[in-house]
Amino acid sequence: MVNMHMPKHKTERGFTLLELTVAISLGLIVMGAMAGLFKAGMDSAMLLTQRAETQQNMRAAVDLMVKDISMAGAGLPSGGIQLPTGAGSNGFSTYGCDQTGACHVPGNTYPTGNYMYGVLPGYKNGVENNGIVPAAPLPAIDSSITSIYSDYNFPLWEYQVTFPVPGNGTTITLTPDPSIVPAPPAINSPGGIQVGDLIMLSNSLGTAVGEVTNLTPTSIDFADLDALNINQNGAASNNIRAISGGASTVAYRLFAVTYYLTVPANGQLPRLMRQVNGLDPVPVADNIINLQFSYDIYNSTTSALEANQPDPLGAGDSPNLVQKINIVVMGQSMINHGNKSQNLSLGTSVSARNMAFRNRYQ
């Protein structure tokens, strides 16, 4: 009898369905945790990018503002300049306007009887055409500021200034002072005088300001009906005509620099604008959603310093007594992440060193 032996098969144990289910579940948990950590890292990186980009944008804007505001009042007569008044005047002069007649801030006339201070606070008039900034925090108090100072870069004082027609303030002639070596550049050279610039003239009869309406290499015109309504040759006093008979006339270019917000019509976020004299405004920084100023001002009645006064003119205070300007700028990140933006505020203070000085410690 033949023995038939069946071959023995060695069996190996596999994974049960339960074990597979548990393993897959654990793997999914680990992968989910890793995905969550990755997303958190990406969100943190994007948050830092948004904050860094917004801070850089705001710092560039604030640095430029600080430079202009710190010069407020430099080169102006102590206390400022009275602009044309009296019989024959055409009303108040304006700032924040260009040669097309467009004015970029509401309520843009010189205050207290047409007077040019070194700094002009613009409480609640900081958005062009009274526009609305949806992203601005409530209550949205956007203000403007105008800083006025002499330009020491272009040497108008190196010219001899004369009036071709005595008693007429519509034209001055400028001849390079022969004692100046090398001779100053032509007044209409690059970086020189432009139509819309403000010129301050001082001589033995006083000080007056005019807006340039035309110029040649040797002359400047101050015709009536200028865009800023400053010339007003028919006014009884405080115009260029009133000092045209004076001796030893010296000329300086003034910078009247206005900062404000504008809301573009194409749906872009607001941007900070800088407008000088009667020239076209230029953008300074995008996505600036709030602009606020307050002033530390000397109270001549109480001999005390009033801190953080947002509206000195409305409170009856003279801008000549401003000691410090406090600036707060709020920006919104230009990079959106998950349809979310970052809002950041940046604040600083500027000493008004060229304004009237009062010793607060006396």
Identify whether 270 is preceded by a cis peptide bond (ω within 30 of 0): no
Query: Along the 362 residues of the chain, how does pLDDT read in single tens digits?
Result: 555 555 655 556 666 777 778 778 888 888 877 777 666 666 665 556 556 676 778 888 899 999 999 999 999 998 899 999 999 999 999 999 999 999 999 999 999 999 999 999 999 999 999 888 887 877 778 999 999 999 999 999 999 999 998 888 899 999 999 999 999 999 999 989 999 999 999 999 999 999 999 999 999 999 999 999 999 999 999 999 999 989 999 999 999 999 999 998 766 778 999 999 999 999 999 888 899 999 999 887 787 888 999 999 999 899 999 999 999 998 887 656 555 667 888 899 999 888 755 444 33
CA-based Rg of the chain, rounded to a whole angstrom?
A: 32
CA distance 249 to 345: 46
> What pLDDT score does 303 carry?
79
> What pLDDT score does 40 carry?
67
42 three-state secondary structure: helix
> What pLDDT score does 359 carry?
41
> What pLDDT score does 358 carry?
44
Residues 6 or more apart whose Cβ sits within 8 Å of residue 7 = none
CA distance 218 to 188: 9
Assigned token pair, 266: 């194409």
Domain ranges of the chain: 50-351
98 φ/ψ angles, rounded to the nearest 5 degrees: -115, -175
The per-residue DSSP string of 210-244 comes to EE--EEETTEEE--SS-TTS---TTSSBSSGGGGT
What's the pLDDT tens digit per position in 85-121?
Answer: 999 999 999 999 999 999 999 999 999 999 999 999 9
> What pLDDT score does 362 carry?
35
> What pLDDT score does 302 carry?
80
